[in-house]
A and B are shown apart, each in its own frame.
Chain A
Amino acid sequence: MKKKLAMLLTAAMLVGSLAACGSSDNGSSATGSASATDSTKTDAAATEVSTEGKQLTVQIGPDPETIDPALNSAVDGGNMLLHSFECLLTIDQDGKIAPGQAETWEVSEDGLTWTFHLRDGLKWSDGSDLTADDFVYSWKRVCDPVVAAPYAETVLGMVKGFDEAQAGDLDALAVSAPDAKTLVVELSNPCPYFESLAAFATLSPVQQATVEANGDAWATAAETYISNGPFYITEWVPGSHITMSKNPNYWNADAIKLGSIKFVLMEDSNAAYTAYQSGDVLLIKDVPTQEIPSLQGNPEFHVEPILGTYYLSMNLEDPAFADVNVRKALSLAIDRDYVANTLMQGTYSPAYNLVGEGWVDTDGSSFNANANGGQSYISEDFDANLEEAKQLLADAGYPNGEGLPTITYTTNDAGYHKVVAEYLQQAWGELGLNVEVNIVEWSSFTPMRRNGEYMVARNGWVGDYSDPSNMLDLFCTGNGNNDGKFSNADYDAAMEKAASTMDTAERSAALHEAEDVLMEQVGCIPVAYYNDFWLQSEKITGIWHSAYGYWYFMYGDIAE
Chain B
Amino acid sequence: MLKYIAKRIGLALITIFTVATLTFFLMNMVPGGPFLSEKAVSPAAQAALEAKYGLDKPLSQQYLTYMNDALHGDFGESLKQRGRTVTSIIVSKFPVSARVGGLSVIVALLVGIPLGCLAATHRGKTLDSVISVISTCGIAVPSFVICTLLLYFLGSKVKILPTYGIGTWKHYVMPVIALALYPTAYIMRLMRSSMLDVLGQDYMRTATAKGVKPFFRLFKHALRNALLPVITYVGPMMAYTMTGSFVVEKIFTIPGLGNEFVSSIINRDYTMIMGTTIFLATLMVVMNVLVDIVYKIVDPRIKLK
Contact A216 B77 (CB under 8 A): yes
Q: A21-B290, A460-B38 are in contact. Are A239 and B83 (CB under 8 A)?
A: no
Q: How far is the CA of A150 from the CA of B163 in the complex (A)?
A: 37
- Give the A-B contact count at a CB cut-off of 8 A: 210
B256 at interface (Cβ–Cβ under 8 A)? yes
Q: Kindly supply a per-residue 1/0 record for chain B positions 37-65, scoring 1 wherever the CB is within 8 Å of any chain A CB and 0 otherwise.
A: 11111111100110110000000000000
Mostly helix, strand, loop or mixed at chain A's interface?
helix
With CB as the reference atom, state the residue of chain B lying closest to A153.
B42
Q: How far is the CA of A11 from the CA of B221 in the complex (A)?
A: 11
Q: How far is the CA of A196 from the CA of B158 in the complex (A)?
A: 49
A115 at interface (Cβ–Cβ under 8 A)? no
Q: List residues of chain A with CB within 8 A of the CB of B290.
A: 20-21
Distance in angstroms from B99 CB to nearest chain A CB is 4
Q: How far is the CA of A441 from the CA of B148 in the complex (A)?
A: 26
Mostly helix, strand, loop or mixed at chain B's interface?
helix
Q: List residues of chain B with CB within 8 A of the CB of A237.
A: 255
Distance in angstroms from B290 CB to nearest chain A CB is 5
With CB as the reference atom, state the residue of chain A lying closest to B147.
A271
Q: A7-B220, A266-B164, A280-B164 are in contact. Are A25 and B105 (CB under 8 A)?
A: yes
Contact B49 A148 (CB under 8 A): yes
B173 at interface (Cβ–Cβ under 8 A)? no
Contact A271 B52 (CB under 8 A): no
Q: List residues of chain A with CB within 8 A of the CB of B293.
A: 17
The B247-305 residues at the A interface (CB cut-off 8 A) are 249-256, 259, 266-268, 290-291, 293-294, 297-298, 300
A481 at interface (Cβ–Cβ under 8 A)? yes
The A88-110 residues at the B interface (CB cut-off 8 A) are none
Q: Kindly supply a per-residue 1/0 record for chain A positions 183-226, scoring 1 wherever the CB is within 8 Å of any chain B CB and 0 otherwise.
A: 00000000000000000000000000000000111111000000
With CB as the reference atom, state the residue of chain B lying closest to A280.
B163
The A234-272 residues at the B interface (CB cut-off 8 A) are 237-241, 264-268, 270-271
A448 at interface (Cβ–Cβ under 8 A)? yes
Contact B45 A149 (CB under 8 A): yes
Q: Kindly supply a per-residue 1/0 record for chain B positions 161-180, scoring 1 wherever the CB is within 8 Å of any chain A CB and 0 otherwise.
A: 01111111100000000000
Q: A66-B82, A447-B33 are in contact. Are A29 and B106 (CB under 8 A)?
A: yes
Distance in angstroms from B100 CB to nearest chain A CB is 9
Contact B148 A153 (CB under 8 A): no
With CB as the reference atom, state the residue of chain A lying closest to B161.
A278
Contact B93 A447 (CB under 8 A): no
Q: Which of B43, B251, B297 contacts A271 (CB 8 A)?
A: B251
Q: Which of A150, A277, A460 contacts B41 (CB 8 A)?
A: A150
Interface centre among A10, A217, A278, A442 (most CB of B within 10 A): A278
Distance in angstroms from B85 CB to nearest chain A CB is 8
Contact A274 B156 (CB under 8 A): yes
With CB as the reference atom, state the residue of chain B lying closest to A219.
B83
Q: List residues of chain A with CB within 8 A of the CB of B169.
A: 36
Q: A25-B98, A25-B238, A444-B30 are in contact. Are A240 and B81 (CB under 8 A)?
A: no
Contact A65 B81 (CB under 8 A): yes
Q: A14-B298, A65-B82, A480-B43 are in contact. Are A28 and B99 (CB under 8 A)?
A: yes
Contact B106 A22 (CB under 8 A): yes
A31 at interface (Cβ–Cβ under 8 A)? yes
B31 at interface (Cβ–Cβ under 8 A)? yes
Contact B32 A166 (CB under 8 A): no
Contact A152 B36 (CB under 8 A): no
Q: How far is the CA of A280 from the CA of B170 in the complex (A)?
A: 15
Contact A239 B234 (CB under 8 A): no
The B213-240 residues at the A interface (CB cut-off 8 A) are 220, 224, 231, 234-235, 238
Contact B84 A220 (CB under 8 A): yes
Q: Which of B31, B33, B165 contacts A241 (CB 8 A)?
A: B165
Q: Kindly supply a per-residue 1/0 record for chain A positions 1-38, scoring 1 wherever the CB is within 8 Å of any chain B CB and 0 otherwise.
A: 00000010011011001101110111011011001100
A520 at interface (Cβ–Cβ under 8 A)? no
B8 at interface (Cβ–Cβ under 8 A)? no
Contact A267 B92 (CB under 8 A): no
Distance in angstroms from A423 CB to nearest chain B CB is 21
Contact A443 B291 (CB under 8 A): no
Contact A146 B52 (CB under 8 A): yes
Distance in angstroms from B180 CB to nearest chain A CB is 12
A68 at interface (Cβ–Cβ under 8 A)? yes
With CB as the reference atom, state the residue of chain A lying closest to B257.
A239
Interface centre among A17, A28, A154, A215 (most CB of B within 10 A): A28
A275 at interface (Cβ–Cβ under 8 A)? yes
Contact B45 A148 (CB under 8 A): yes
Q: List residues of chain A with CB within 8 A of the CB of B156.
A: 274, 277-278
Distance in angstroms from A164 CB to nearest chain B CB is 12
Q: Which of A21, A36, A239 contacts B255 (CB 8 A)?
A: A239
Interface centre among A20, A31, A65, A268 (most CB of B within 10 A): A268
Contact A238 B31 (CB under 8 A): no
Q: How far is the CA of A279 from the CA of B83 in the complex (A)?
A: 34
The 3 A-B residue pairs whose C-beta atoms are closest, nearest first, are: A25-B102, A239-B255, A443-B32
A-B contacts, 7 listed (Cβ < 8 Å): A28-B99, A65-B82, A153-B42, A217-B83, A238-B93, A278-B156, A441-B32
If A14-B297, A35-B95, A480-B43 are given as contacts, then 20 extra A-B residue pairs at C-beta distance below 8 Å, sorted by A number, are A17-B293, A21-B231, A21-B291, A25-B98, A25-B102, A28-B102, A39-B166, A68-B82, A152-B42, A153-B42, A166-B44, A219-B82, A238-B84, A239-B256, A271-B164, A274-B152, A275-B164, A447-B33, A461-B38, A481-B39
| Partner-A contacts on B (CB < 8 A) | 30-33, 35-45, 48-49, 51-52, 77, 80-84, 89, 92-93, 95, 98-99, 101-103, 105-106, 109, 148, 151-152, 155-156, 159, 162-169, 220, 224, 231, 234-235, 238, 242, 249-256, 259, 266-268, 290-291, 293-294, 297-298, 300
